[in-house]
Amino acid sequence: MKEKTGFMRVAAILFMFLATSCSGLSVMSDYDRDYDFTRQRTYRWVTDSGRDSSDVLSVNPLLKNRVQSAIDRELAARGFPAARGSSAAGLEIAVRAYISEKSMIRREPAPFYPRLYWWGKGFRYYPWFDPFEGVPVLYHYDEFLLLIDMTDQTGRRMVWNGSARGLLKRYRTGEAMQKDIDFAVSEIFSDFPLQKAVRK
């Protein structure tokens, strides 16, 4: 039962991207300016023989398939099909994801403090409230990090990488999670050297 609960937690809270309207997603990408991306048009996925327990995708194959499918769609839209079977591929792609616990201190508005104080011959009531005074509150939260690396198989050198970092949230369905995964991957590839083909 404990193992099942742990698995559901990973499946439920991984890639908890905030909604687009208030996104806390931070993305970055970089590439080799001397590399000609038009020369290599096929790729294959890296299959690691070992298992990295800190990599959430390595212990959750269903989630890894969702992420890879999103990347497949982005690359296909740019004319990069995945190699079929044992066909030779010019590029190799590796994807990893990690979750880390974070904390932050934020000053919240001070609560309402009604007070009684001694004045002369008796107590008086003073409804004290200072809108400019804050109370430090410690928050704990989980943060995800998604990493995508692209390597040229001919020269065995990295030619492109991208990452996304953001807060985690809970999902009720895999479809809702897929929607946010698609959004994050799309943002990572937004500055890819080859853009999406324009549909007429």
CA dist 136 and 108 (Å) reads 6
pLDDT recorded at residue 47? 79
Strand, coil or helix: what is 28?
Answer: strand
Q: What sign does the CA torsion over 170, 96, 56, 167 have?
A: negative
pLDDT mean values, one per 10 residues, the chain (200 residues): 46 39 76 90 79 86 95 94 80 93 74 58 58 69 92 88 90 90 96 74
- What sign does the CA torsion over 145, 151, 157, 160 have? negative
What's the CA gap between 95 and 99, in Å, rounded?
A: 14
> What pLDDT score does 96 carry?
95
Looking at residue 27, what is its pLDDT? Answer: 96
Question: What's the pLDDT at 196?
Answer: 75
DSSP type of residue 36: -
Q: What percent of the chain has pLDDT over 90?
A: 41
Pairing of strands 113-119, 157-167: unpaired
**Total residue count of the chain as it appears in this document:** 200
* pLDDT score of 38: 87
pLDDT, tens digit (0-9, with 9 covering 90-100), for 124-171:
555 555 555 566 777 777 889 999 999 998 878 999 999 999 888 788
